[in-house]
Chains A and B, each alone.
Chain A
Amino acid sequence: MSDLLTFHFDVDGDDFTSAGQASVQIKKNLRQLGIAPDTIRRVSIAMYEGEINMVIHAGGGEADVTVSETYIEIVLKDQGPGIANIEQAMQEGFSTAPDAIRSLGFGAGMGLPNMKRYTDYMNIESEVGVGTTITMRVNI
């Protein structure tokens, strides 16, 4: 497998109910490619957390997944409000989610730490008022 396999998704920011669909699809695709179950789980959890974040914090965005011979890369890009203090956002328990979001089961402040925990590489680029791009890699 010398070619890179790529998958692209538009993540709808207006529809909380369908949030996570891209991650479900990626999970299926990786299964078909015969990737190890543990690796699939790490990729899909990290992507799911990022996808939910784009929906609840940034009004949606785009997800691109690349499968290479040695790693799986997930790039999540949005034009939301950006993250003012990335170090603070990365702390377990830090969340700006309002009560309405908490009552939907999100806002524990665990998403970004989970993404970091399950991936081998994670980089956040963010500018307030411009948007956020998160790149994650899981080694195969």
Chain B
Amino acid sequence: MKISTMKELLNAEVVCGEEDIDRNVFSACGSDMMSDVLAFVKDQAVLLTGLVNSQVIRTAEMMDMICIVFVRAKLPTPEMIELAKESGIVLLTTKTRMYDACGILYSNGLVGNKLKS
């Protein structure tokens, strides 16, 4: 799915990284606990979160993620935007709540990271 498609599906706004919204992403994860995000490396390219601090950007960077979606209308701080720009991470913000945002993306084909059984 393209980041631009996520933007439309979630009725989101681009905070920074407009030039990269045609990039493709293949899986996503949603959490407010950063070590949970860091626990499962696959090729998740997108993080959905309601948490707003610099560690969100660093966590995404450690995971080589290329897009963060802030749910519940959360807005990143100028400092976070600066960090995201440095790392080439697209930031989106949406009024949609976490459960709904994940559901919308999932049902449109953006899957999570299936646990090994």
Contact = CB atoms under 8 A, between A and B. Distances in A.
Contacts of B32: 105
Interface in B48-73: 49, 51, 53-56, 58-59, 61-64
B41 interface: yes
Nearest to B64: A41
A41 B38 contact: no
Interface string A40-55: 0110110011001000
Interface of B (DSSP majority class):
helix
Contacts of B58: 20, 23-24, 48
B102 to A, nearest CB: 17
Interface string A19-59: 11001100100000000010001101100110010000000
B55 A41 contact: no
Interface in B83-102: none
A118 B39 CA distance: 9
A96 B38 CA distance: 19
A1 interface: no
Contacts of B51: 104-105
A105 B80 CA distance: 15
Interface string B28-50: 00001111101101000000010
A19 B57 CA distance: 12
A52 B34 CA distance: 11
A24 to B, nearest CB: 6
B8 interface: no
B: interface residue count bin: 20 to 34
B71 to A, nearest CB: 14
A113 B39 CA distance: 8
Interface residues of A, number: 29
A111 interface: yes
25 contacts: A20-B58, A24-B58, A24-B61, A27-B61, A27-B62, A37-B64, A41-B41, A41-B64, A45-B38, A48-B58, A48-B62, A104-B51, A104-B55, A105-B32, A105-B49, A105-B53, A105-B59, A108-B33, A108-B34, A110-B39, A111-B38, A113-B39, A114-B38, A114-B39, A118-B41
Interface of B: 32-36, 38-39, 41, 49, 51, 53-56, 58-59, 61-64, 79
Interface of A: 16-20, 23-24, 27, 37, 41-42, 44-45, 48-49, 52, 102, 104-111, 113-114, 117-118
